[in-house]
């Protein structure tokens, strides 16, 4: 392990955070982590990282602090207050927030951090659990170019497509657009699956040929087996996509952009969650189409 590499604190070791932090360890970075579940801390330690007993302990010596938590309230909870990142990180530290949150939360965090001499970039990701494990995530960044350039070698250990999209909050705006496209795409695939099955077509053959043409997509490639096997083990939970659809519909309203199809899919995601499927993978939108089509699921 090179002593020249920056010391990294990682806050939030969930479905995405655990494999991502492990990829940094594989790249030689020293990583100290904090999360609420002891088994996740044990996993980090087993991979060669250091577990901390608090946010303050994790960030106190860190050059770079990476956060990966579910939503804006959690980002605010870990960032602010006496036990939070801003009160305990050293001056000059760089926060890379990889959570998917509202653009305004990112803008506010950057402003508040600057007053403490701490820099921030927002760097939400797309690619799901598989992309996190394989280190091929798409990473959309908002912030200052100098901070982006400093973070780039770290981000290159986590993803493949890494783009500075503009000032603070821009990464989150692009991520919101990403979640809009993904949700609509999954919904269209789910409707096609039910249509094909009810028509008596061989589903595997149909999805293979569809994925080779203009209807093909990363969503279909990644989620095809979920549809075929009705395997909805969460790679990205409906609960989180529900949160993201709220972000994109709210942000679109603020800028005067109409999202007619997105609004319908946001309601379909919300209804699936209301039916108790919030903990399932977002490919479980198929279950909602099946229910609407008179199939018992």
Instruction: Give catalytic residue positions.
Output: 175
130 contacts 108 by C-beta, under 8 angstroms: no
Alpha-carbon distance of 108 to 221, in angstroms, equals: 37
Tell which phi-psi region holds residue 93, choosing left (phi > 0), alpha (psi between -120 and 50) or beta. Answer: beta
* Cα torsion 230, 232, 238, 241: sign: negative
Question: DSSP per residue over 283-297, as a string?
Answer: GGHHHHHHHHTT---
Question: DSSP per residue over 120-151, as a string?
Answer: EEE--EESHHHHHHHT-EEEEEES-HHHHHHH
Greatest C-alpha distance within the chain: 64
């Amino acid at each position: 392990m090179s002593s020249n590499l920056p010391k990294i604190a990682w806050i939030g070791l969930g479905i995405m955070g655990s494999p991502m932090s492990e990829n940094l360890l594989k790249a030689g970075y020293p990583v100290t982590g904090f999360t609420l579940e002891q088994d996740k801390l044990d996993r980090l330690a087993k991979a060669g990282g250091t577990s901390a007993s608090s946010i303050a302990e994790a960030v106190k010596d860190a050059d770079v602090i990476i956060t990966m938590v579910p939503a804006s309230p959690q980002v605010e909870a870990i960032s602010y207050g006496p036990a939070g990142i801003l009160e305990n990180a050293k001056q000059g530290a760089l926060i890379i927030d990889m959570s998917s949150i509202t653009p305004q939360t990112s803008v506010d965090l950057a402003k508040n951090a600057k007053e403490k001499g701490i820099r921030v970039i927002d760097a939400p990701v797309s690619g799901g659990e598989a992309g996190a494990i394989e280190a091929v995530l798409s990473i959309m960044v908002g912030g200052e170019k100098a901070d982006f350039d400093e973070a780039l070698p770290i981000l290159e250990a986590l993803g493949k497509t890494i783009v500075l999209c503009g000032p603070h909050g821009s990464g989150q705006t692009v991520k919101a657009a990403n979640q809009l496209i993904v949700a609509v795409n999954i919904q269209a695939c789910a409707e096609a699956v039910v249509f094909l099955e009810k028509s008596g077509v061989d589903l595997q053959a149909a999805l293979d040929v569809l994925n080779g043409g203009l209807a093909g997509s990363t969503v279909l490639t990644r989620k095809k087996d979920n549809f075929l096997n009705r395997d909805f083990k969460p790679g990205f939970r409906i609960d989180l996509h529900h949160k993201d659809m709220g972000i994109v519909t709210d942000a679109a309203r603020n800028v005067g952009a109409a999202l007619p199809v997105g609004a319908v899919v946001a309601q379909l995601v919300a209804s699936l969650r209301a039916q108790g499927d919030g903990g399932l993978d977002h490919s479980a939108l198929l279950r909602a189409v099946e229910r609407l089509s008179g199939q018992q699921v």
